[in-house]
Amino acid sequence: MSAPGARVAVVTVVRGRAGHLARQRRVLAAGPPVTHVVVGMGAEPATDGAGPPTRVLTVPAPGPLPLAAARNAGAGAALAGGATLLVFLDVDCLPGDGLVDGYLRAAARRPDALLCGPVTYLPAGVLPERDLHRHTDPHPARPAPADGALVAEPRRELFWSLSFAVTADAWRAGGGFCEDYAGYGGEDTDFALSCGLDLVWVGGAHAYHQHHPPARTDPARIAEIVGNARLFHDRWGWWPMAGWLRELHATGAVEFDPVRDVLRVG
């Protein structure tokens, strides 16, 4: 049920995760018409096999993954191709049957908003490509409105970049992600604060996250998380990812004392 004249681009940034990307592309190909903009970070992604019409580009990645820069580059390529709606989908996420059309309907009602759908985390070993709705169990930390409902969200810290959509005009008005962030964490909350767009939850626009170990538990990510949290604190005056930072503090991986504004690798 695509809106007349709407052109949807799904933007996915990736390094590695070839199996997850291939599965995502097969599911996208079975759904409503989209262009898939795939942005490789430091290496050209593998996009062989079944998939929708595709634009592939790469961004340099000499250090930590440039997630913010890659999303911005993907959005730029999508807009240059004439997209009117940008759907950002994490490489680990499979689109539900109603994701694209749900975002299209929501954008028609709220073309000025930052639109987010519910995400289900699939258990390890569960890799469906059909009947995804049978696995629907949205993450309890985020709202999951009824199908078709739009719910305004004042808590911008709840925005996550796993699955979201913006119209072309809203993206241009929002200015994109801050590319000072490097590596994992913080850049999505920063975007929700800086873009000036209302955050709205979209009922029925389900995505399904394919299993992998949490990135925050990877020792190689800890310095990135700390660096990005410090950058965020400098920009906004409060600590993002506080739950993660408390978990890492409990393990001794970092020292985190928000009362004294202390955060450093342990």
Spell out the domain ranges in the chain. Answer: 8-212, 216-265
**Residues 51 and 26: beta-carbon distance below 8 Å:** yes
pLDDT value at position 1? 44
Contact, 173 vs 197, CB < 8 A?
yes
Mean pLDDT of the chain: 94
Residue 217: the pLDDT is 67
CA distances from 3 to 85, 92, 116, 118, 174 (A): 11, 27, 19, 22, 23
Q: Using CA atoms, how far apart are residues 71 and 182, in angstroms rounded to an integer?
A: 12
> Which two three-digit tokens encode residue 60?
């340099």
pLDDT digits (tens, 9 = 90+) for 64-81: 999 999 999 999 999 999
Element counts in the chain: helices (H) and strands (E)? 7, 13
Closest of 32, 31, 13, 20 to residue 128, by C-alpha: 20
Tell me the pairing of strands 8-14 and 85-89.
parallel
3 state DSSP class of 132: helix
Question: What six digits make up the tokens of 185?
Answer: 């964490």
pLDDT for position 116? 98
pLDDT at 215: 65
Could you write out the DSSP letters of every residue in 221-258? GHHHHHHHHHHHHHHHSS-SSHHHHHHHHHHTSEEEET
Those residues of the chain that have pLDDT short of 70 are 1-4, 214-217
Q: What is the pLDDT of residue 7?
A: 97
Please state which of the four CATH numbers 3.50.50.60, 3.30.70.1290, 3.40.1390.10, 3.90.550.10 is assigned to the domain occupying 8-212: 3.90.550.10
